[in-house]
Amino acid sequence: MKKDDILLTIAIPTFNRSKFLNDQLYNIHKLLGDYKFSKNIELLVSDNCSNDYTSEVIDKFSLLDREYKFTSNENNTNVGLDKNYMIACLKSSGRFVWTFSDDDKLEDGAIEYLCTALSNNLKIGCGMVNYFITKKKDITAIPNPLGSEGYVVANNFDSFIREVLVGFGNGPSCIYRRSLLSEYAMKKSVGSAYPHLWWMADLASSYPSLVIRRPMYTYIHPGVAETRRNSSKREDYPFDYYLYAHLSVLKFNLYINKFLSSKKNKIKLYRLFSDENINQIIFHKITVEKYDITAIVAALKVMIRRFYFSPTFWIVHIPILILPSSVAKFLEPYRWKYLELRSSILTYVKNFYNALWKIWQ
């Protein structure tokens, strides 16, 4: 790349969150002020036709003295979250685009570290950055093996999945090589609630991908109650947004099987999605306001296709999905006791095996 080329676009899609956006832009502006290569950075905001003070925030930051490039886009109408993410990517001018949120907390040195890693791996198709899942910073999306905080290049989709599993389900963890993105291809997954999953899979299955093990930000989760309230503000979906999004992820799991050659990876993902499936069913049944036959029928079609050979699915998942929500509320405490017991047994077996292995050596 040339000396003054834009290496990375930090693209922030936003809608009616002017306070969060203002704080985030201020934080990034401050971080880039201390970064000697900030002229190789573009900060782009894509406003999804907000009706709060978002435009004023953008105008204020556009007037600041800076070395980095500042760009903004305002949609004429609210085109939906998925499409706004796509627009933010396509409007970017960097070699790579990082779709970041307007509220997650960047770690000190994250941008500089990421740019260094990208500049050393210009031919990758996409990348995933690790992040903290809790404010305590005790859990990360990608477990750090042996405390390693470096990065690795995955040369095929199997090695990418082996590193991250589904850690890239969080949109702000995803980085794309801009020249490989096209509106035609991206539109196919717009409306799925998690379009970035498909975008990342298509790139990681065709090009090397970069996995940043070092956490770059802290994911700020508003909590179950808040996410349920916010679901009513989402675009029009045929039924409950969060159940719809979960079914979309199950379809994604079926989609990526064609890219995987490792049976071990397929089994890992199957088990992961199976566990998450029951979590999402119970969450839906406990929090949904009414018994929704449309949602249940749609869920059955996708879930049966994915878990047809699972006895647990037929014995546990199906009854909870079909029966009234009172059943899910009754069973949930017992399910957690079962999960705790299973975890304790697995931990005991693992420790016993490790002790035998040490004796054997």
Are 20 and 146 part of one and the same domain? yes
What local confidence, expressed as pLDDT, does residue 146 receive? 47
Are 120 and 255 part of one and the same domain? no
Are 40 and 99 part of one and the same domain? yes
Give the domain extent around 178.
Answer: 8-221
Show the CA angle centred on residue 140, arms to residues 307 and 16, nearest 5°. Answer: 85
DSSP three-state, residue 128:
strand
Are 65 and 142 part of one and the same domain? yes
Are 249 and 177 part of one and the same domain? no
Mean per-residue pLDDT over the chain, rounded: 88
Instruction: Give the domain-ending residue among 203, 221, 239.
Output: 221
Which residue's structure tokens are 């878990």?
A: 307
Are 276 and 307 part of one and the same domain? yes
What local confidence, expressed as pLDDT, does residue 347 receive? 78
Residues in the chain, pLDDT under 50: 146
Are 179 and 271 part of one and the same domain? no
Indicate whether 337 belongs to any domain.
no
Residue 27: closest CA among 168, 210, 218, 178: 218
Indicate whether 336 belongs to any domain.
no
Per DSSP, the chain holds a count of helices (H) and strands (E) of: 14, 9
| Amino acid, res. 310 | S
Question: How many structural domains are present in the chain?
Answer: 2
Structure tokens at 306: 């994915």
Are 103 and 139 part of one and the same domain? yes
- According to DSSP, the β-strands at 105-106 and 8-14 are unpaired
Instruction: Give the domain-ending residue among 205, 221, 237.
Output: 221
Indicate whether 110 belongs to any domain.
yes
Are 135 and 159 part of one and the same domain? yes
Residues 6+ apart with CB under 8 A from 5: 40, 95
What local confidence, expressed as pLDDT, does residue 332 receive? 77
* Tens-place pLDDT, residues 127-154: 999 999 877 777 889 886 545 668 999 9
